[in-house]
Amino acid sequence: MSEVIAIEGGYKLNGTVRISGAKNATVALIPAAVLSDGPVEIFGVPEISDVEALAILLEELKCEVEVDGEHIKIDPTHMEDIPLVSDAVNKLRASYYFMGALLGKYKRVKIKMPGGCYLGPRPIDLHLKGFEALGAKITYEDDTYLLEAEELIGTQIYLDFASVGATINIMLAAVRAKGKTVIENAAKEPEIIDVANLLTKMGAKIRGVGTDSITIEGVDHLNGTFHEIIPDRIEAGTFLIIAAAAGEKVIIQNIIPQHLEALISKLKEMGVKMDVVGDSIVIFGSQENLHPVDIKTQTYPGFATDLQQPLTTLLTQAQGESHVKETIYVERFKHCAELNKMGAYIEVGEASSDIHGATSLHGARVQATDLRCGAALVIAGLIAEGKTEITNVYHIDRGYDNIDHKLITLGAHISRYEIDDE
């Protein structure tokens, strides 16, 4: 038996929805907390399965963990340097942040190869090169990494690609290294700034976050603190697209609009009507007379790769041909075949897709092949005629906090139930 999300399409959405804390910040903030010598409390934590997996890993390390809704308290006072080789590591790509955090704290870490959604090659060689530059020796055997250093020494590190994961991971290791570390060609995503803000509150000395050159002066001790997570710009973007596709008047609260400038400008180019009011955006949805647009994913502040799949669904409703070029995860097009089952006309090329619109979508049984594919299919189900059943919903639950409930409060007809595996 497996769970499906079922959506009856064609119901217009109205009302207000509040965006949760950022998934991509949360999954780094929680491992970062183990660098502290005292309790760390984090607020605004999204209720997603990735947080449950991270809590299991913390407990394996003998940290005390309390999760209460959107609040997590992590006490690493009695933490031990224990190999992370359980199945929980395999379920979660972001478990790799324990590499940097534990290397920084203990100068040693043993960890299984991390898991997560398959989006094509996602090597962690940039992370490993950074650790080696700081003085770590790395061995790999039986799907397990062993990183060891007598001492971590600050140095200059140039990233061949402005990788969010590598930027954060090297930062985690460098805050407890001796001397000064400079990360050049660093990524600039808001989630990196959020992690640096937590580390700074703990006593780390970090400058230049949000630019392409981050400087870290190593310290011997980090203390406990409190921290509130920034809103999730990808969830916010997903709901902007949902409201544009299926809404009449939808108010989306707890947004930092400047984090979404690339998407907002594309939606306006398509003809979507909206008002930005402080930390809220009001969308006046209408699928009629939407214009086709071309999208090219780029690192922040460019168009987010995590939003190209959800936006593709909306582009099926635009009058004409739209083109998507993917420069981050070149195999991120599995959603296209699923959307085509629902009546879309999408041709997939090399790291690109052509969406021919507008096409009427109809309900079908489709598969969430990864997290953002799942979001694209939810949007399709909301605007399709008839009933859509989405399988592999665990991908969606990894990154969207209570998406069913949030949509139901807006007027969507959504349910979950078990089906026999075919």
**Hey, what are 320's tokens?**
């004409």
Reported residue count of the chain is 422
| Cβ pair 120, 331 in contact under 8 A | yes
Rounded to 10 degrees, the C-alpha dihedral 114/403/372/196 comes to: -60
Burial of 178 (0-12, 13-18, 19+ CB in 10 A): middle
Burial of 349 (0-12, 13-18, 19+ CB in 10 A): exposed
Helix axes 97-106, 164-174, angle to 10 degrees: 10
Tell whether 207 is in a known binding site. no
* Cβ contacts of 349 within 8 Å, gap of 6 or more: none
Tell whether 124 is in a known binding site. yes
Give the active site residue among 63, 117, 336, 373: 117
Q: Identify the three-state secondary structure at position 362.
A: strand
Tell whether 23 is in a known binding site. yes
Tell whether 328 is in a known binding site. yes
CA angle 127, 310, 53 (to 5 degrees): 45
- Report, in angstroms and rounded to the nearest whole number, the Rg of the chain calculated over CA atoms: 22
Catalytic residue status for 117: yes
CA angle 393, 397, 398 (to 5 degrees): 115
Helix axes 305-315, 334-341, angle to 10 degrees: 20
CA-to-CA distance for 416 and 339, rounded, in angstroms? Answer: 20
Phi, psi dihedral angles at 258 (to 5 degrees): -65, -20
Tell whether 126 is in a known binding site. yes
CA angle 324, 326, 330 (to 5 degrees): 135
Tell whether 306 is in a known binding site. yes
The strands making up 71-75's β-sheet, listed across from edge to edge, are 64-68, 71-75, 40-43, 225-228
CA-to-CA distance for 103 and 130, rounded, in angstroms? Answer: 12
Which DSSP symbol is given to 227? E
| Cβ pair 72, 106 in contact under 8 A | no
What are the residue numbers of the active site?
117
Annotated binding site: 23-24, 93, 122-126, 306, 328
Binding-site annotation: residue ranges for phosphoenolpyruvate: 23-24
Binding residues for UDP-N-acetyl-alpha-D-glucosamine, by number, are 93, 122-126, 306, 328
